[in-house]
């Protein structure tokens, strides 16, 4: 599982960074990906990665400020040209449906796939779940409705102990698949092989939290609890809390304090004001490190591997 930081700037593009967008690439065999926000030129940033638009499966918009959505219509349109035919689910605050439908109507845009739009209203919790992961959304504190998202991967079964299967006389094929899925099987001689006898420890699902623009708030802590990766805005440097709160944002210190309070495993800060150059990012990272580690100040096109932190015995 890998997070790509496609744009790490706030408000408008600068010569240092593009505006906000992130992509969470799921592990094999799916290799599909989830997009979080889509500031202008997001699809141009994607061209510099290994991501394929036809593998895009979900889009999650945190809020409707332009630096988070101006790149979305073009990206969705381009997906058809890139061979995208499978459905895409789009989640976002109330108004995202009207925004997309209005632009597509005026521009006569036609998609070759089904776009399913879900508007989030109020302070919702679970908004999606399948056999791979679940997604929760909660309302943050910004100038307009802004959401944070928590993606929880389902626990994964351990590896099959192939040598043990051979010893037991289990033939490779469908029986292996059933055991991998946690089922017991009965062999030709009537003996029963239980899944837990021939699989290693199960893997605990990873948690990724992506927060939209926000001041410090209780829901940010709830979403970030025990996250393996916490992506948190840090628009301003430490000491600029008054200015940050005036515009509904956080400082580096506040992002780190949230990570520490939530017992996150890794903090990546993003959404930096244009006043900061790439040379300033080490200083911003150092400010946060006084309160939480490990912490990373994201640069455009940074890749962060979300590692499995533990196994369940």
Determine if residue 67 is labeled as part of a ligand binding site: yes
Report the distance separating Cα 35 and Cα 161, nearest Å: 36
Q: Which of 67, 155, 228, 280 is catalytic?
A: 67
68 is in an annotated binding site: yes
Neighbours of 246 (CB within 10 A): 11
Helix (H) or strand (E) holding 178: helix 174-180
The yes-or-no answer on residue 300 being catalytic is no
**Strands across the sheet containing 56-60:** 115-120, 88-93, 56-60, 33-36, 21-25, 2-7, 302-305
> Would you say 228 is a known binding-site residue?
no
Q: Do the annotations mark residue 232 as ligand-binding?
A: no
239 is written with which tokens? 């000491």
Neighbouring residues of 273: CB distance < 8 A, sequence distance ≥ 6: 10, 11, 235, 236
Q: Is 30 annotated as a binding residue?
A: no
Q: What crossing angle do the helices spanning 252-262 and 281-289 adopt, rounded to 10°? A: 40
Binding residues: 63, 65, 67-68, 142, 213, 271
Binding residues for Zn(2+): 63, 65, 67-68, 142, 213, 271
**Which residues does the annotation mark as catalytic?**
67
């Amino acid at each position: 599982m890998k997070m790509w930081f496609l744009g790490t700037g706030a408000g408008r593009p600068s010569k240092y960074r593009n505006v906000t967008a992130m992509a969470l690439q799921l592990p094999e065999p799916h290799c599909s990906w989830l997009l979080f926000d889509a500031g202008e030129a997001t699809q141009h940033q994607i061209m510099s990665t290994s991501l394929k638009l036809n593998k895009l499966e979900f889009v999650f918009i945190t809020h409707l400020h332009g630096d988070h959505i101006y790149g979305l219509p073009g990206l969705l349109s381009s997906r058809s040209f890139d061979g995208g035919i499978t459905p895409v689910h789009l989640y976002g605050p109330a108004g995202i449906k009207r925004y997309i439908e209005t632009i597509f109507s005026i521009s006569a845009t036609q998609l070759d796939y089904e776009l399913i739009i879900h508007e989030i209203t109020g302070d919702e919790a679970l908004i999606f779940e399948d056999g791979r992961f679940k997604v929760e959304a909660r309302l943050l504190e910004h100038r307009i409705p802004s959401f944070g998202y928590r993606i929880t991967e389902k626990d994964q079964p351990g590896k099959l102990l192939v040598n043990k299967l051979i010893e037991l006389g289990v033939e490779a094929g469908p029986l292996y698949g059933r055991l991998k899925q946690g089922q017991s099987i009965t062999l030709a001689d009537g003996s029963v092989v239980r899944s837990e006898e021939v699989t290693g420890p199960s893997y605990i699902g990873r948690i990724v939290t992506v927060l939209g623009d926000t001041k410090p708030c209780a829901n940010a802590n709830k979403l970030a609890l025990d996250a393996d990766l916490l992506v948190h805005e840090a628009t301003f440097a430490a000491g600029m809390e008054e200015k940050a709160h005036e515009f509904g944002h956080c400082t580096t210190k506040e992002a780190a304090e949230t990570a520490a309070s939530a017992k996150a495993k890794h903090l990546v800060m993003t959404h930096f004001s244009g006043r900061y150059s790439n040379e300033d990012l080490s200083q911003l990272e150092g400010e946060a490190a006084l309160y939480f580690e490990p912490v990373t100040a994201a640069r455009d096109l940074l890749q962060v591997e979300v590692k499995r932190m533990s196994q369940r015995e």
